[in-house]
Amino acid sequence: MEAIKTNNTRYQMIYSTFLPIKKSRMMGIIRDLKANIQLWRKTIR
């Protein structure tokens, strides 16, 4: 039972540290894509 508890807390720690990184990374990728699209539009015109 103790092992399950420690595994649970460890998983929650990993989850809480990695999830925001993934979210911010996705937002950064989306931001980069938008910037790239604007650049492409400028170069096409």
What CA–CA distances, in Å, run from 40 to 13, 36, 37? 41, 6, 5
What pLDDT does residue 42 have?
87
> What is the model's pTM?
0.45
Cα separation, 41 vs 35, whole angstroms: 10
Q: Which residues contact 39 (CB under 8 A, 6 or more apart)?
A: none
Q: Supply the pLDDT for residue 2.
A: 66
State the pLDDT at residue 4. Answer: 67
pLDDT number for residue 20: 79
Report mean pLDDT in 10-residue bins for the chain, 45 residues. 73 81 85 91 82
Domains of the chain, residue spans:
1-45
